[in-house]
Amino acid sequence: METALGVIRSPAIEMDGAVRVSRTGVPDDASAAHDLDFRILGPLEVVDGAGTVLDLGSRKQRAVLALLTLSAPHVVPLDQLIDRLWTNELPSSATGTLQAYISQLRRVLEPWRSPRSPARVLRTREPGYLLDIASDQLDANRFTRAAEAAHAALAEGRPEDVDRVLDPALSSWRGEPLADFPDDAFARATAARLAEVRLSALTVRAEAWLAMGRHAEAAVEAERLLQHDPYREGLWALLMRALYVGHRQAEALSSYQRCRVMLGEELGLVPSPELRRLERAILEQDETLAGTWPSAAAPAVASAVRVSPAGRTRGAGQEEGPTPPAPAAGEPEPGAGGRRPPRLVGREPYLRRIRERLDDLGRGTGGVLLVSGESGIGKTRLAEAAAGLAAERGITVAWSRCAEGSGVPAFWPWLQALQELDGTGSGEPSKVVASLSGVDRAADTGDPDTARFLLYDAVGKTLGQLTATSPALILMDDVHWADAASLKLLTFLGGDLHRMPLLVLATMRPESGRAPEPLADALGELTRQRGTERMGVTALTSEQIADYLDDVDQAAASPELADALRDRTGGNPFFLGELLRLLASVHSLDQVAVEDVVALAVPDGVSDVITQRVSRLPEDSQTLLRAAAVIGRDVDSAVLETATGIGGARLMMLLEPAVATGLLIEVDGGWDYRFSHALVREALYARLSRLQRAQLHGRVGEAIETLARGDLASRLPVLAHHFGMAARVGYSEKATSYAAQAARQAADRLAYDEAVMFWEQALASLDPSAPDSASTRCTLLIELGRARRVTGNVLGARVALDETVTLAGRLGDDAAVIEAATVFGGVTLWNWRSYGVVDQGMVGVLEDQLARLAPELAFRRAELLGTLGVELYYGERRDEGRRHAAEAVELARGIGDPRLLARTLNNFVITAWTPEHDEEHHRAAEEILTLPGLPRVTEIIARLHRMPALLRAGMLADYDAELARCLRMTAEVRMPEIEAQVTFAAVGRAMLGGDWPEADRLAAMGTGSYRRTSLWGADPLKLIYAFFSDWCRGRQGAHVRGLVDAGADDSNRLLRPTAVLAAVEAGEEALAHRLIDRWGVKAERDWSWQFVTWQWGLVATRISRPDPYCLLAELEPIAGELVTLGTGCVSWGALHDVVARLKRATGDTAGALHHAEADRDTHRRLGLRHLENRGAALLRELRGG
């Protein structure tokens, strides 16, 4: 064992840079990379750690390596390589050839590297390639350094060191540098410079010999060097001094003459003053000649220590072309050519605000910062800058990105953020992550809404823990693509963030008119929350573009160029960057002129620029990019390989040019890719035909399926997405199946909106020609109906379920009919029909099913009876309906299932919502509240049903307590349907209290929530509220037109009395009469009866229609009640008022006075001052009159 341990340990101990051997005995990548020796002092050569000369392949391939070697470790732009080596080829084909060389060179340089691990020596780095080697790995650099050291030794009076320093270097000289590229300009310039360095080194060596008294050798060396380079006066001087010191004065002087004659004859020159001075010194036998002759000291070593590429004069570090504002992948690596992060131009006001928010964050106040702007405007760059600012302040930063399409699991951005914040991956946070990702199924509370609340709450608590010790910034990119569940969670948390050191910076594209509802909802709600703020990022101005150009290029940009670029790009930074890259691939950027921009064959958008850039890549690379675009912004290499059927090495080879030109980014720590900008992917995707997209999605889906093998669960959304897109080209069955599985999974994870979306997708993917497509459709429709019902989309649910009933009826599938029909009999606040509508078809279906139902199926029977009862509510068979519901309740009691009982009681509550059965209605609602395990929504609904009676009776304290409770619970369930009704109840209460600003605010909110459901009533209720909110404030006479027009529609008949009242109040009595003639004055004995009758009463006091006596008979018995509509959306004072007025109208002054007094006293007792005043005023009027 000891031996074995010793073997393992020893390589680790040898940290001296010698050969490092991995456990397998093969040099590990890193050491192998460091052991490579690049030699250009002679023909190009690379020698590995074992001393083997590598086979570098064909001449062109060697030329590529030579160019990279000369620039190492800096990036050589791809366009430059092609410029130098392939002048006459199309860029697309030259790029392909280059890529083949690069990948072959990689194989030669790193034979141990697995094809899937990143290259360490020959790396890709936008905008091209670089050789990531240390300076010492190049013989020319060692040589130059040795020459410098020798020169220094001589200058410092240590001539004896010179041989030792120079010998190894001189022996590495194998001949003319880069001798195998005799015709290449880049090689010639370097060779000339190196030859100069060598000559200077040899001269230094000879000088050192002379200084050490080895004058004969020095003289011979000087003669030898002069044979190659006779015009070097320094060498002539050395020769003369060496000869002189060796007591060969005559030869020294004749050397001078040789030099003088040669210069004179061949060049017509005279020797330099220095050489002439030397001649004189020899003639004068100057004693200083024995020492170092100052001015004849060795010529300085060529100043460039590092060999740099020939050709252009700009330094390697500046040769990278423009640095566009597209997001860079992570930090530039050391040795990657010192890429300078581009400065953020024209964004200072935004950065200032971000700094302020980050400083607030440091003080414990977080919030939500929404950064919106069109694509390419630089939102992500701003977020990156925010990340940098946060890091400076010691704030933890977590990134999360939302992906386009439905291919990611619910809560995806939150999962990423939580995982990043929770570095340890243990304890509470990971539990929450598990429940969000559905690993740990939400505790089966049996109530989806409670479960969702608990889950959101847990996330909030976890974030609280994670930020307890240090503040955090979550950067959520592209929230316009976030799933509905994530958006809901954001709005849920948003309300509390101002009390927590957590700032969420979310970037998004501006909402268009067709923004998805969940996004519009979330934004609406977020903007109402404290601590939320929006920043709209705008386009760059011409001045800012000029600044930007100054930044990426030394040459000052002309205002005209900036204007031209602004015109072309609309000031969009991404477009600008892409356009500059395109221009730079044709011109040198500092030569770009206005005409180039104007003349560019770019019609309009950034997408065209990207398309042009793509067209410069090899065609197979283009194909691969198109397939990658179908996969998504993040490209899993394994999926792309499997989908396209090519190997990993070839895939990397083909994608390299896209990385080198900045269209793709290599994802750190893996071999996956990411499109550098969403627009790049979109441009590629948009150029595919529908058929191409469909086929490619199918292939991608199959690839994911193949790769997922055992673990399909985590891939369901993405499988549903791809097969869904391919449903019409033969993947229908898979599309439907995966969408259905994804829908169930989403519902399990409490992401109900996603569930709806997946059910819809499953239906859309269904192939109508498949054998049992009709029955599959029924099953899916029922699921869709249920899912929609849960999200509050009642009308949508209705559509799906009606279709099921019809379809299943045709198929003779009773079970499906019953299942579909009874989904509606679930627990609801209102009847699901529009006001006054009975669907006779559905009544027929339900009755038919009841008639044929086997007697033992009591449960089904209860469901059917309850549903039928509600269905009959708006018609003449209302009483019969109530009896059906009562029977359903009795059946449920017999069965003993509390859920069924709650459901049937709720059915009964609705059927009994009439003036005659108010008591039963109220009692049934109370009974629901006594049932165990009540889902939160059911509880809220039951409470809402109980509340109107409290209001009518003036039990305002009880009413307020209930309302507060409902509001609290509603915040937890967040169903628009419930939200709307509870908010309306609050509206009515605010009216009653005379708090008009609050009433208006709540009414707007309630209408907003209501519109998100598809229930009947949002518009009529809005009109009624608008009228009464003015009327109650004494502003009569408004809204006549709107009400009259709306009332013309039969489905709005509820607001007809209001329209007539409005006409009367506006003094348009003739109109009021005409309307009554047209519409009649019936008050339905349904939930609206009291409110409607009150209004007719008011009308009758003015125009004596409807008959005041009849109305008195109806109203006098309930004169003590406060008036309210439905569950309270309009509430006002006691009916005493209208009764008093009717009494006056019918000549009963005493009765009138009595009710006016009662009116005043009721309101005084209730503390409703403005209504008390109303009563008092009426009283005065009656007495005065």
Partner 1 sequence: MSSPSEFRPPSTLLLREVPAHTGTAGGQILAPVLTAALREASAVRCRVYVLSDLAGPAAAPPLAAALVETDPAAHRARLRALTVIGPYRGLGLERRLLGELLTELRAAGVRQVCYRAEPGAGDLPALLRSSGFTGDERTPCQYDEPGIGPLAVTWLIREL
Give me 19's structure tokens: 């050969």
Considering only 154, 696, 909, 1119, the residue that binds partner 1 (CB under 8 A) is 696
Q: How far is the CB of 719 from partner 1 (least distance, A)?
A: 17
Task: Decide whether 100 or 638 has the Cβ nearer to partner 1.
Answer: 100
Q: Measured from the CB of residue 309, what is the shortest distance to partner 1 in angstroms?
A: 24
Footprint (CB under 8 A) of partner 1, residues 811-870 = none
Count Cβ atoms within 10 A of the Cβ of residue 168 and give its class: 0-12 exposed, 13-18 middle, 19 or more buried: exposed
Residue 691 CB, nearest approach to partner 1 (Å): 7
Backbone dihedral angles phi then psi of residue 666, each to the nearest 5 degrees: -80, 130
Binding residue for partner 1 (CB under 8 A) from 27, 77, 91, 96? Answer: 96
- Stretch of residues binding partner 1 (CB under 8 A), selected from 348-356, 686-694, 756-764, 1125-1133: 686-694
- CB of 703 vs partner 1, minimal distance in Å: 11
Contacts of range 1060-1065, beta carbons closer than 8 Å, 24 or more positions apart: 1060/1095, 1060/1099, 1061/1027, 1061/1031, 1061/1095, 1061/1098, 1061/1099, 1062/1027, 1062/1031, 1062/1037, 1062/1038, 1064/1098, 1064/1099, 1064/1102, 1064/1103, 1065/1031, 1065/1036, 1065/1037
Question: Using CB under 8 A, which of 692, 737, 834, 1036 touches partner 1?
Answer: 692
Q: What x/- string results for residues 725 through 754 when contact with partner 1 is judged by CB under 8 A?
A: ----xx------------------------
Segment interacting with partner 1 (CB under 8 A) among 55-63, 366-374, 439-447, 1135-1143: 55-63
Part in contact with partner 1 (CB under 8 A); list of ranges 73-81, 90-98, 418-426, 757-765: 90-98
CB of 94 to partner 1, least distance (A): 10
Closest C-alpha among 468, 535, 473, 478 to residue 505: 473
Query: What is the nearest approach in angstroms of partner 1 to the Cβ of residue 236?
Result: 47
- Pick out residues in 749-788 that bind partner 1 (CB under 8 A): none
x/- site string to partner 1, residues 649 to 668, per CB under 8 A? -x--x---------------
The Cα–Cα gap between 996 and 991 comes to 6
Q: Is 707 in the site for partner 1 (CB under 8 A)?
A: no
Does residue 119 touch partner 1 according to CB under 8 A? no
**Residue 1173 interacts with partner 1 (CB under 8 A): yes or no:** no
Query: What is residue 264's DSSP assignment?
Result: I
Single out the residue of 462, 572, 695, 736 in contact with partner 1 (rule: CB under 8 A).
695
The interface region with partner 1, picked from 53-61, 77-85, 276-284, 370-378 by CB under 8 A, is 53-61
Candidate list 626, 923, 1074, 1102; residue touching partner 1; CB under 8 A? 626
Which residue in the set 345, 565, 627, 679 belongs to the binding site for partner 1 (CB under 8 A)? 627
745 CB-near residues (< 8 Å, 6+ apart): 438, 713, 716, 717
185: which 2 tokens?
A: 């300009």
644 near partner 1 (CB under 8 A): yes
Among the listed residues 897, 901, 975, 898, the one whose alpha carbon sits nearest the alpha carbon of residue 940: 975
Amino acid 662 reads G
Give the x-and-dash track for 870-889 against partner 1 (CB under 8 A). --------------------
Pairing type for strands 128-131 and 76-77 reads antiparallel
Which residues, other chains included, contact 847 with Cβ-Cβ below 8 Å and sequence gap of 6+?
A: 868
Rounded Cα gap, residues 650 and 640, in angstroms: 11
Nearer to partner 1 (CB atom), residue 96 or residue 935: 96
- Contacts of residue 389, defined as CB under 8 A and 6 or more positions apart, other chains included, come to 351, 354, 355, 358
Which two three-digit tokens encode residue 737? 């199946």
CA end-to-end distance (rounded Å), the chain? 117
Tell which one of 53, 300, 598, 691 touches partner 1 (CB under 8 A).
691
Q: Does 351 bind partner 1 (CB under 8 A)?
A: no
Q: What's the closest the beta carbon of residue 82 comes to partner 1, in angstroms?
A: 14
* Comparison of 621 and 981: residue with beta carbon closer to partner 1: 621
Task: Give backbone dihedrals phi and psi of 675, rounded to 5 degrees, phi first.
Answer: -65, 135
Rounded to a whole number of angstroms, the minimum distance from the CB of residue 105 to partner 1 is 10
Phi, psi of 1086 (to 5 degrees): -115, -160
Q: Least Å distance between CB 623 and partner 1?
A: 5
- Separation between Cα atoms, residue 766 and residue 989, nearest integer Å: 49
Closer of 657 and 866 to partner 1 (Cβ) = 657
**From 691-699, 712-720, 846-854, 1045-1053, span contacting partner 1 (CB under 8 A):** 691-699
As measured in angstroms, the least distance from the Cβ of 579 to partner 1 is 23
Query: Does position 638 bind partner 1 by CB under 8 A?
Result: no
Judged by CB under 8 A, the stretch of 56-64, 185-193, 818-826, 1151-1159 that binds partner 1 is 56-64
Which residue's CB is nearer to partner 1, number 726 or number 782? 726
Nearer to partner 1, 623 or 714 (CB): 623
What torsion, rounded to 10 degrees, do the Cα atoms 210, 215, 221, 227 define? 110
Question: In the complex, what is the shortest distance from the CB of residue 704 to partner 1, in angstroms, rounded to a whole number?
Answer: 15
CB nearer to partner 1: pick between 103 and 544 = 103
Q: What contacts 1035, CB < 8 A, 6 or more positions away?
A: none
The number of CA neighbours under 13 Å toward the Cβ of 62 is: 20
Write out the binding residues for partner 1, residues 934-973 only, by CB under 8 A: none
Nearer to partner 1, 618 or 1020 (CB): 618
Q: Which stretch binds partner 1 (CB under 8 A): 127-135, 225-233, 366-374, 688-696?
A: 688-696
C-alpha 1139/C-alpha 1114 separation (Å) is 10
Q: How far apart are CA 420 and CA 417, in angstroms?
A: 5
Q: What would the two tokens of residue 146 be? A: 């040795």
Provide the residue count of the chain.
1185
- Cα–Cα separations (whole angstroms), residue 668 to 87, 119, 329, 895, 1002: 34, 12, 8, 61, 50
Residues 680, 610 contacting (CB under 8 angstroms) = yes
Could you give the angle at the alpha carbon of 1016 between the alpha carbons of 1015 and 1019, nearest 5°?
A: 115
> Which one, 305 or 638, has the nearer CB to partner 1?
638
**Rounded Cα–Cα distance for residues 1171 and 1167 (Å):** 9
Query: Residue 646 or residue 1048: which is nearer to partner 1 going by CB?
Result: 646
Q: Least distance (Å) from partner 1 to the CB of residue 636? A: 16
Residue 558 interacts with partner 1 (CB under 8 A)?
no
User: Using CB under 8 A, which of the segments 534-542, 695-703, 829-837, 1097-1105 binds partner 1?
Assistant: 695-703
Distance CA 367, CA 955 (A): 40
Torsion of CA 1041, 1045, 1046, 1051, to 10 degrees: 150
How many C-beta atoms surround the C-beta of residue 632 within 10 A?
23
User: What residues have CB less than 8 Å from 213, skipping those under 6 apart?
Assistant: none
Considering only 10, 558, 623, 840, the residue that binds partner 1 (CB under 8 A) is: 623
108 or 490, CB closer to partner 1? 108
Could you say whether residue 254 binds partner 1 (CB under 8 A)?
A: no
Closest CB to partner 1 among residues 467, 644: 644
> Cα–Cα distance between 155 and 1040 in angstroms, integer?
105
Q: Which stretch binds partner 1 (CB under 8 A): 620-628, 757-765, 862-870, 1141-1149?
A: 620-628
Tell which positions 589-618 bind partner 1, by CB under 8 A. 618
Chain positions contacting partner 1, by CB under 8 A: 57-58, 60-61, 93, 96-97, 99-101, 103-104, 107, 618-620, 622-624, 626-627, 643-646, 650, 653, 687-689, 691-693, 695-696, 699, 729-730
